[in-house]
Every structure is written in C-alpha cells, then in structure tokens.
Amino acid sequence: MNPKQRVLFLCTGNSARSQMAEAFLRRYGNEYFESYSAGLQPKGIHPLTRQVMQEIGYDLSGQTSKGVQEFLGKIFIHRLITVCDQAEKNCPSAWPGIINKEHWSFEDPAAFEGSDEAKLEKFREIRDQIDQKVRSWVDEQAT
C-alpha cells in the first residue's frame, strides 16, 4: 500500500484560497493525500474565509495561517499547488523533493473591494470555484 502523498497549497497570505483548498482536499482526498497550506507572507485566516466555509459545514478552527518556512526543507512535499499568481511568481524555485508542481489561478477574495455583502459574495464565489477544482483534481488523481 502506498503512503499518502503530501500536498501543499501555497498562496501569498495563507488567509483564504489555500486554506479553503486545504480543507476541501482533507475532505475529498483524505484517503490518498495529506493536505497542508502555507503562505509566502502569512496574514492569519480571514474572518470571511471562516464564515463561508462554516456555511457549508467546514470548521476551520484546527487550521492556522502558516509560513512556507514551516515546510521548506522540513517536510517532504510530493505536490506543490500554488493557488494565486503572486505565489506562482514568487515561489521558491528550488524545493527539495517536490515531485509535481501545479498552478491553479484564483482571484484573491481578500483583495476584493465593495460592500460587506459584495465581499461575502466574492468569498463564496471563490470558495465554490476551489471546491469544484479540488473535487475534479481528486477524481483525476484516482483514475
């Protein structure tokens, strides 16, 4: 039996997109993957990230915002998935042990400007996009 592959989702702040991806992979791919997330400049989990994930039954109380330094050279990561264009651009080019690197481009909901309701809707939109992407990615890996 093969051990679970470690997947690290990386974005700039580790406040929204990578946190959502970590939670979704934990649910959909837990049989095959260990899910982690980090940021190049961690900012703490955005309150709207927690809120929109709670709306669909995800409790992020066990997740924290982490810097990439917690993983780089310390934990063998099989797959690195950047979920923002800034992280893709600024990701360390030398990462020991990375077998597969992918980039999934998602808009940063934390950077969205508008009314409180519009911001909440943007977080929901990005949450749903990440949900679909993680589901389809897990299905692809299983085939």
pLDDT digits (tens, 9 = 90+) for 102-118: 999 999 999 999 999 99
> Model-level pTM?
0.92
Query: What per-residue confidence (pLDDT) applies to 1?
Result: 43
In the set 60, 72, 91, 98, the catalytic residue is 91
Query: What per-residue confidence (pLDDT) applies to 62?
Result: 86
Q: What percent of the chain has pLDDT over 90?
A: 69
Which tens digits make up the pLDDT trace of 49-88?
999 999 999 999 889 999 988 887 788 888 999 998 877 7
Task: Indicate the SS3 state at residue 102.
Answer: strand
What is the average per-residue pLDDT within 131-135?
98
In the set 84, 87, 126, 138, the catalytic residue is 84
Q: Is 88 exposed, middle or buried (0-12, 13-18, 19+ CB in 10 A)?
A: middle
In the set 7, 8, 10, 11, the catalytic residue is 11
How many degrees, rounded to 5, is the angle at CA 100 between CA 129 and CA 141? 55
Specify the CATH number for the domain of residue 113: 3.40.50.2300
> Does residue 95 surpass a pLDDT of 80?
no
Domain count, the chain: 1
Of the candidates 32, 83, 20, 89, which has an alpha carbon nearest to the alpha carbon of residue 56?
Answer: 20
Active-site residue, 59 included: no
Domain encompassing residue 35: 5-142
Active-site residue, 11 included: yes
Which tens digits make up the pLDDT trace of 13-50?
999 999 999 999 999 998 999 999 999 899 999 999 99
Amino acid at 58: Y
